Amino acid sequence: GAGVSQSPSNKVTEKGKDVELRCDPISGHTALYWYRQSLGQGLEFLIYFQGNSAPDKSGLPSDRFSAERTGGSVSTLTIQRTQQEDSAVYLCASSLEGGTGESERAEAFFGQGTRLTVV
């Protein structure tokens, strides 16, 4: 697609329910990131996928959070037994490549985000 697509754009769920958030990265982008932005907060890293490598899950706040990326393309972020503190905007980004070091990373393009509200 032309850009990173996230769905749904808005989700209201009851406390205790599970939710799935979807991200369609830009075609050909091997790196995919999930971030969370809570009200008044900066971006909080959640998880990173790069090609066929094991994902970097170091940012997942609890075992209620999981993510997968099927076929190296679409990614799903799942939050089980949602809590009110999970309310935030969940942003997905993709880039041609990832990693640190000089000249390794291409710029990341972000989706519009999914605004999750847990009531």
Partner 1 sequence: SQELEQSPQSLIVQEGKNLTINCTSSKTLYGLYWYKQKYGEGLIFLMMLQKGGEEKSHEKITAKLDEKKQQSSLHITASQPSHAGIYLCGADILEYGNKLVFGAGTILRVKS
Which 59-98 positions form the footprint of partner 1 (CB under 8 A)?
Answer: 59, 91, 93, 98
Q: Which of 23, 25, 48, 82 binds partner 1 (CB under 8 A)?
A: 48
Give the Cβ contact number of residue 80 at 10 Å. 14
* Nearest to partner 1 of 14, 102 (CB atom): 102
Q: Which of 26, 32, 50, 60 binds partner 1 (CB under 8 A)?
A: 50
The minimum distance between CB 55 and partner 1, in angstroms, equals 9
Alpha carbon distance 42, 5 (integer Å):
21
* Nearest to partner 1 of 16, 61 (CB atom): 61
Half-sphere exposure of 68 (CA within 13 A, CB side): 4
Alpha carbon distance 27, 47 (integer Å):
19
